[in-house]
Amino acid sequence: MSISDLAAEAGVARGTLYRRVESVDALFDQVRAELAVELHDANVAVMDAAGITDPPRRLATGIRMLVRGTHADPALGQFLARFALTDESLRGMVAGPPMADVDAGIASGRYARFDETDLSIASMIMGATVSAIWMVLEGHQAWREAGTDTAALVLRALGLDPEEARTIATEALPD
């Protein structure tokens, strides 16, 4: 897409867009970063309002809400399936709420201690979540099954007992 295409789609003069947008790539990066922050903030707000404080419950709830959300908004799911596993997205996750919950889980003894880097842990969580989104978009699984299975697998990978991981991954989601 060019600046001219973008200006035409937005219904603004090309010159106006040139003055406000460095490049289409820079705009895309900004939109992607803002979307990630919005998704994380929305999930955190819902979990905070529901009183979910236990790190494994927060992580499982976040994964499942994201999979549910992309089922409700397939365009969002397609965007995430295509662009979520980028350097910038991974760096944002390492600094964002999901990894803060992982760190809290390690500190509280709910998760195992890891020799692996935060980036490796973040990429495992993101890869599993994006795969669940893809499974839903492609019709291989319903969102509940994909989200639950993924959350349980991630919790087990972080060191939770399989039964506890499955119990947490099947708890009712907040509205």
How high is the pLDDT of residue 160?
96
- Among 153, 56, 157, which Cα is nearest to 102's? 56
Question: How confident is the prediction along the chain (175 residues), in pLDDT tens digits per residue?
Answer: 677 777 788 788 878 777 777 777 777 777 777 787 788 888 889 999 999 999 999 999 999 999 999 999 999 899 888 887 776 766 677 677 888 889 999 999 999 988 878 888 888 998 999 999 999 999 999 999 999 999 999 999 999 999 999 999 999 999 8
Q: Would you list the DSSP string of 31-58?
A: HHHHHHHHHHHHHHHHHHHTT--SHHHH
Amino acid at 108: S
d(CA 131, CA 75) in angstroms, rounded, equals 15
* Those residues with Cβ within 8 angstroms of residue 44's Cβ, 6 or more apart along the chain or in another chain: 97
- Among 58, 46, 39, which Cα is nearest to 99's? 58
What CATH code is assigned to 25-169? 1.10.357.10
d(CA 100, CA 94) in angstroms, rounded, equals 8
Domain assignments of the chain as residue spans, ordered by start? 25-169
